[in-house]
């Protein structure tokens, strides 16, 4: 049975030209929000890379997750995760700054309306 207090509220993810994938999932937890990083080879399963941030302040979690993922989209890296996981062409690098405390509108970012609710508390 799934834990109803742990809902996915935001997701940042991309694929490198090599097929390697990287994502950060942001979920609700009892204390607020939590961001976890994962990676996978082209045909491999997802491996947990560790906690990015956990806080009762949504802006803290979103900001840390965005900065960490944006670093992975910077051109010139050995692996640049700038293609959508579902396929498609390369996207521009992500800016590391939140926009009004929210994640940017970008093809590599999914932001659920639950985040808006949490920010209004």
Which pTM value belongs to this model?
0.87
**What is the C-alpha separation between 18 and 60, in angstroms, rounded?**
32
3-class SS of residue 77: coil
Q: How far apart are CA 98 and CA 94, in angstroms?
A: 10
CA 109 remoteness from chain centre: 7
Going edge to edge, which strands form the sheet with 21-29? 47-55, 32-40, 21-29, 8-15, 109-111
Q: Give CA–CA dist 9/95, Å, rounded.
A: 20
Output the tens digit of pLDDT for each of the chain's 121 residues: 455 556 888 999 999 999 999 999 999 999 999 999 999 987 779 999 999 999 999 999 999 999 999 999 998 888 899 999 888 899 999 999 998 888 998 999 988 655 555 555 5
């Amino acid at each position: 049975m799934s834990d109803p207090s742990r809902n996915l509220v935001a997701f940042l993810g991309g694929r490198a030209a090599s097929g390697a994938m990287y994502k950060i999932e942001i979920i609700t937890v009892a204390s607020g929000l939590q961001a976890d990083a994962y990676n996978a080879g082209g045909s491999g399963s997802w491996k947990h890379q560790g906690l990015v941030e956990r806080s009762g302040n949504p802006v803290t979690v979103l900001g840390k997750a965005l900065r960490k993922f944006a670093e992975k989209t910077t051109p010139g890296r050995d692996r640049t995760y700038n293609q959508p996981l579902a396929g498609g062409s390369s996207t521009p690098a992500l800016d590391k700054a939140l926009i009004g405390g929210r994640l940017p509108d970008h093809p590599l970012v999914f932001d659920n309306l639950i985040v808006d609710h949490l920010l209004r508390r």
